[in-house]
Chain A
Amino acid sequence: MKKYLYMTMAAIMMTGLLSAQSQYKAGDVASDFRLKNVKGEPVSLADNKDADGFIVAFWCNTCPVVKKYDQRLQALHAKYAPKGYPVVAINSNDPAVSPGDSFEKMKETAAKLNYKFEYLFDETQEVARKYGATNTPHIYILSWKDGKLVVDYVGAIDNNADDASVADKKYAEDALDSILEGQAVALTGTKAVGCGIKWKKS
């Protein structure tokens, strides 16, 4: 009997571990959060009353793939924020592992690149873990539905990191255009090569 109890407990613990590592996918309800922006102000998604949803981008200052996508993320914000879907970028990298991703450096990056969107610091890495983000860049498109943030798309911005001009599958834009037209998103998840999020050394 005791053995069964232990086994059940072990099974529950395992399930907990597995679910902690799993990634949001289309249809899941995403959690809101409260993280400080580069001005030091706390920001939650729910604070933005005008938004119908968000382009949440796991981001950083240092990753060469992120740098390749810098202009493209800014273009997404310029195009879709007026339509109700602003970009919210989040840096979850541990500055102890990646010094270039400190809060101070985030301020510098946002100022230098003239970010018009919120750039938030996920100091505890709790948001990245909850969302199941693994890389930078890693995009989550969310929509408000009945007071809940529902995931519409998870993955890459498009299919050519090196050269935007030859990307012929614009995953994020296609998903957003479908959402805005009230259509179902055809491709709800993609994978792309990126920098692994720099997790705290346990």
Chain B
Amino acid sequence: MRLLLAGLLISTISIVSLQAQEIEKIGIPGLEEILAANEDQLHVVNFWATWCPPCVTELPYFEKLSKEFSSKGVKFILISLDFPSQIDSKLIPFLKKNKVTADVRVMTNLDYNSWIDKVDGNWQGNIPVTLFFNNARSIKYFHPSELSEKELRDLIIKYKLQ
């Protein structure tokens, strides 16, 4: 019985710690590293938040197409702009509830003006936005608003390695 309890406790702890590890927090250096990736492949970086209804609408398209295209050399990163005070209360439960398996990171630097232009000079700070790039081939396309599933698929097909 004691063993069972201990086992339960250990598995509970490991689940909790797994959850805590689920989401990587990044600051400006982490963002710069993502943007500077020079593997010869298409990178699709979406900026979103759980508090943004159009972001939540398009998230399943990213989830679905990341499953479809990850094996075809396309790398997806979803950067959440949820407030740091709401990572545990909103973001992680949201990801769990919606069974999001895509690579989600959370940007914890709130001094937005110091990094928005690093993503794209045309970005006004509205979300969702999506950046498509392959630095090895000098490909860069910034999409300044939400995407339908078809638009996202078409853009991936347009910019990925043929």
Contact = CB atoms under 8 A, between A and B. Distances in A.
Contact of A159 (B53, B85, B110): B110
A191 B116 contact: yes
B19 interface: no
What band does the interface of chain A fall in when counting residues whose beta carbon is under 8 Å from B? Answer: 20 to 34
A162 B124 contact: no
A156 B83 contact: no
B113 A159 contact: yes
A155 B125 CA distance: 10
B147 to A, nearest CB: 13
A161 B110 contact: yes
A59 to B, nearest CB: 14
Contact of B123 (A23, A162, A191): A191
A60 to B, nearest CB: 12
Contacts of B47: 193
Contacts, number: 65
A193 B111 contact: no
Given A64-B51, A162-B84, A134 B113 contact: no
A139 to B, nearest CB: 12
B85 A192 contact: no
A151 to B, nearest CB: 16
Given A64-B51, A161-B83, A162-B83, A195 B126 contact: yes
A160 interface: yes
A159 B111 contact: yes
A83 interface: no
A22 to B, nearest CB: 11
Contacts of B113: 155-156, 159, 169, 171, 190-192
A61 interface: no
Interface in B70-121: 81, 83-85, 110-114, 116-117
A104 interface: no
A196 B85 CA distance: 22
Given A64-B51, A134-B126, A162-B110, A193 B145 contact: no
A194 B125 contact: yes
B126 A160 contact: no
A47 interface: no
Nearest to A163: B85
B127 interface: yes
Contact of B112 (A23, A163, A192): A192
Contact of A191 (B53, B84, B125): B125
A135 interface: yes
B60 interface: no
Given A195-B52, A196-B54, A160 B124 contact: no
17 contacts: A64-B51, A65-B51, A68-B83, A134-B125, A134-B126, A159-B111, A159-B114, A163-B85, A169-B111, A191-B125, A192-B112, A193-B126, A194-B125, A194-B126, A194-B127, A195-B127, A196-B145
Interface of A: 23, 64-65, 68, 98, 134-135, 155-156, 159-163, 169, 171, 190-197
Given A159-B110, A162-B85, 6 more contacts: A135-B126, A156-B113, A162-B84, A191-B123, A193-B112, A196-B126
